[in-house]
Structure 1
Amino acid sequence: MTCAAKVATDSALDEEDYREECELPEEEHTESHAGTSGSGGYKFDTAADKEDIKTQRQAVWVLLKGVGSTLLRDGVNLTKISLPVRVFEPRSFLQRITDNWAYLDLLEIAADTVDPADRLKYLVAFVIGGLRRATSTLKPFNPIIGETAQSVYASGVTVAAEQISHHPPISSWDVRDQHNKFRFYGNGNWVASARGNSIKGQQSGRQACWFASDGATVSWELPPLHLRGIMWGERVLKYSGEIHFTDDLNDLSCVVHIDPQASTSFISSLWRSKKSAKQQDQIRGSLVQGERVLDTVTGCWLTHVEWERGVAGGKVNRLWDVQTSPVRTPQAIPSPLQSDSRFRQDLQFLEKGDQDASQEWKSKLEEVQRHDRRLRKEGLKH
């Protein structure tokens, strides 16, 4: 029996059959470091997480009956298929994107920092800390083209976001300090593909922050992620790769490596594979001005960011700590545009717990969006 047929006819398919029929390998594991286990990453292991995961997996099995081996063997672009509302949270991606900016205090401190090198150190901590906050078992709704979201932080920093493209899905945002000390802006093209028991994705797109103190702009892009345990086993989110920060005006740059290669002796390297020599979840990088190394950053994207020489003349080294750094959440403004995410009927019904009505409205909105896309294509022909 083929994989597609097996999934389509057996609702009680277990994970062993799933792997065997679809020729999926076991998950790979590497040596642990710094309090992590297996291949590291953020573990979704709370009671609430496990309940959400259970509900998601039930919904995914139903989905698999329709797509069969295409999803399992070859993978599928998740931005191009309609998922059931059971796997969603009652927020749009435009609303959820602010989770990445939970340590906004660091961005505000950066704007008040005179030394451009110290400013960049705070910005690095702001971005790395954001990776830790962008963890959720549930998926946000894909924004509809033209959809907006407006909110404000207690400090007065405002957020304006808009969905500017349907396929590829691109979100744009503008975050401003009320005193015009900084402007944080950018766009995110969320790309995600599922294959077997995992999802690989990335919020690609340039992000930048302009600072009024000297007119400098620092830019960067987020690293790729790997979410394991979609269908069975432990659910784990892992980041890896590099983040490049650039301040051209002040000739500053910093490359932060996530899961860097460990420094090993010749003898120990004989006993370690290249993969297992990685320092799971650790970060390491150098702040450089021209050819000169100014400082070195270390830590872990799950727990902390520390600079060897620190800021303010070495008085502070650890700029972000998951245990002590305050988390900031913006609130929706009282009178938003009618295109605001909060007016979407599918989100409203899901928030009330009515999944049937939410699913019905989600299907209606998707059909409207497909119709509008056809009209735009026809318009381009004339």
Structure 2
Amino acid sequence: MAPKDPKQNSGGGFFSSFASTLSNLGNAMHKSVNGLLGYEGLVVVNPVGGTEDAEDEAQKGRWKQEDRDNYWKIMQKFIGSDVTSLVTLPVIIFEPMTMLQKMAELMEYSYLLDEADVCEDPCMRLVYASSFFISVYYAYQRTWKPFNPILGETYEMVNHGGITFIAEQVSHHPPMSAGHAENEHFTYDITSKLKTKFLGNSIDVYPVGRTQVTLKRDGVVLNLVPPPTKVNNLIFGRTWVDSLGEMVLTNVTTGDKVVLYFQPCGWFGNGRYEVDGYVYNAAEEPKILMTGKWNESMSCQPCDMEGEPLPGTEPKEVWRVADPPEDDKFQFTHFAHKINSFETAPKKLLASDSRLRPDRYALEKGDLSKAGTEKSSLEERQRNEKRTREAEGHPFTPRWFGLTGEVTPTPWGDLEIYSYNGKYTQHRASVDNASDAREHDNESVEFNPWQFGIVAE
């Protein structure tokens, strides 16, 4: 069956009345929960439904009640604001990974881009490429926050699919990262900037960024516009993540595109994770139907001009998520553990690499107290370096990326574009050819992203 047009309204009658009744019941439950806890206007949602009492569900979470109370007192003044870099957050809500590593985590299923590069069919090429971009959402459902990178921080990755990956924090206010990945089949370039809206017990995240993939065989350029994400039940209740809306991947070389619709989570978890849509040719005719779940798998099937599957065809599975570790305390995938380790590190790792951050490492080892102390220390040293730079009249200059002067529009605002300058390729070649490279111990390197020396607190 072809996916429903997301713009169509559901029918009236019994179902409309039933939905209205559920909505009224939900409002009453929310008022009861908020009245009990003293937080008016906050919504508690159970994404999987069930028979659990809403008031019991509301009091669950990672923190003790007094911790949540104190956090709410701090955060309530920021309701409606972009809190990307306004607030110093407690380390208890973090996972032992940085945003730069999160960018590299997208590369887990990079073989899909390899398949897109060698594919002769232009529509199937978009099926493989869009499945690659769907695959990262399994990792995005983790509810802990990655560390914000220090200005000048980097992350390097090798030993995966022939890829060389480099990312750098290129701006602190606003927080912006740039990344570049490359192997024999593709280049991947991203300028990443998040815009957020804090709503009390939830936060909307808008990806004000540009992701561009070039497939090397034919020089095809693909541009991505992802959907926004919502993190629910930040302060109390079961924290969960949902992405909803359209993902559009456009072949700017030919005009072909794929439009996939992320279904919103409905009552009792209905529709959660579901993705469906079409690959269109340049004449905007549907050619391939795509269906699946972003936390499970994606399939494709040829379709007619009405979007219905062609008779005699069956769905073909294109991607399936790898089995995750059982009972992992961070909900990491096997690949997430790899990129957090030195297994994917090159010889003579840059001292600015995220793996070397003392706060991240302490959190990974379970020492929250030390992680909090180290995080505060790094942030204070970052402020001191900024004062030093400003006093000496030196603007910050990224090492591996450059500001192009290009400004591109996105659905959530204009974006200044950073591009890879090629210097990292030269650096890596010289290091790998050095005679002492194999004797270098990455784990003994002290974290140092500072461009003006290690700045004291």
Q: Same fold (TM over 0.5)?
A: yes
Letter of the structure 1 residue corresponding to residue 365 of structure 2: K
1:62 corresponds, among 61, 70, 78, to: 70
Calculate the TM-score normalised by the size of structure 2.
0.64
Query: Is 2:273 the partner of 1:281?
Result: yes
Does structure 2 retain, via aligned residues, the 8 Å contact 1:306–1:318? yes
Deviations 1:90-139 (A, max 9, x none): 22211232333322221222222233321111011111121122222322
Please identify, of 202-211 and 17-26, the stretch whose mean Cα deviation from structure 2 is larger.
17-26
Match of 1:233 in 2: 237
Q: By how many angstroms is 1:81 displaced?
A: 0.7
The worse-fitting range, judged by mean Cα deviation, of 363-372 and 247-256 is 363-372
Which residue of the partner structure matches residue 215 of structure 2? 211
**Cα distance 1:20–1:186, how it changes in 2: closer, same or farther (>3 A)?**
same
Please give the alpha-carbon distance, in whole angstroms, between the structure 2 residues aligned to 1:60 and 1:20: 11
- Aligned counterparts, 1:123-202, within 5 A: 123-177=129-183, 180-202=184-206
- Superposed CA deviations along residues 6-59 of structure 1, whole A, max 9, x for unmatched, are xxxxxxxxx946776442144468xxxxxx8459xxxxxxxxxx99x5248765
Note closer, same or farther for the CA distance 1:57–1:107 as it changes in structure 2 (3 Å cut): farther
Match of 1:111 among 107, 110, 117: 117
- Matched residues in 1 for 2:334 and 2:132: separation? 11
> Deviation per CA, 1:336-378, whole angstroms, max 9, x where unpaired?
1111112222223333333223222211221222233345556
Counterpart-to-counterpart distance in 2, 1:305 and 1:158: 27
Q: Aligned in 2, Cα 1:376/1:137: closer, same or farther, shift over 3 Å?
A: same
Per-residue displacement from partner, 1:170-191 (whole Å, max 9, x unpaired)?
Answer: 11111111xx221111121123
Q: Percent identity?
A: 27
- Provide closer, same or farther for how the CA distance between residues 60 and 111 of structure 1 changes in structure 2, counting only shifts above 3 A: farther
Distance 1:231 1:57 in 2: 10
Correspondence for 1:23? 40
Superposition pairs for residues 288-299 of structure 1, below 5 Å? Answer: 288-291=280-283, 292-299=285-292
Segments ≥4 residues shifted beyond 6 Å: 323-327
Instruction: For residues 216-258 of structure 1, give each alpha carbon's deviation from its aligned partner in whole angstroms, at most 9, with x where no partner exists.
Output: 1101032111111222223221100111111121221122111
Q: Normalized against structure 1, the TM-score is what?
A: 0.75
Aligned residues of 1:285 and 1:298 also touching (Cα < 8 A): yes
- 1:366 matched to 2:379? The reply is yes
Q: Does 1:309 align with 2:302?
A: yes
Q: Deviations over 1:144-182 (max 9, x none)?
A: 1110010124332121111111011111111111xx221
Instruction: Provide the C-alpha distance between the structure 2 equivalents of 1:324 and 1:83, rounded to a whole number of angstroms.
Output: 32
The residue type paired with residue 320 of structure 2 is D
- 1:254 aligned onto 2:271: no
Aligned position for 1:11? none
What is the RMSD computed on CA atoms of the aligned residues?
Answer: 3.5
Once the two structures are TM-superposed, the CA of residue 302 in structure 1 deviates from its matched residue by 2.6
Q: Is the 8 A contact 2:109 2:132 kept in 1?
A: yes
Classify 1:169/1:58 alpha carbon distance in 2 versus 1 (closer, same or farther; 3 Å): farther
Alignment match, 1:10? none
What residue is the counterpart of 1:266 in the other structure?
none
Please give the per-residue CA displacement for 1:246-278, whole angstroms capped at 9, x wherever unaligned. Answer: 1121221122111189xxxxxxxxxxxx999x9
Structure 2 portions without partners, runs of 5+: 1-31, 51-58, 304-312, 325-332, 396-457
Deviates more, 1:159-168 or 1:18-27: 18-27
* Unmatched segments (≥5 aa) in structure 1: 1-14, 30-35, 40-49, 262-273
Number of residue-to-residue matches in the alignment: 331
Residues of 1 paired with 2:91 and 2:272: CA distance? Answer: 34
Q: Is the 1:57–1:231 Cα contact (8 Å) retained in structure 2?
A: no
**Distance in 2 of aligned mates of 1:344 and 1:283:** 36
Letter in 1 for 2:198: A
Change in 2 beyond 3 A, CA 1:27/1:357: closer
- Amino acid across the alignment from 2:132: F
In structure 1, C-alpha distance between the alignment counterparts of 2:104 and 2:66, rounded to whole Å: 29
User: Structure 2 CA distance, aligned partners of 1:151 and 1:90?
Assistant: 17
Partner AA of 1:344 in structure 2: R
Q: From the superposition, tell whether residues 222 and 169 of structure 1 become closer, same or farther in structure 2 (CA, over 3 Å).
A: same
Matched, 1:244 2:251: no
1:88/1:141 contact within 8 Å kept:
yes
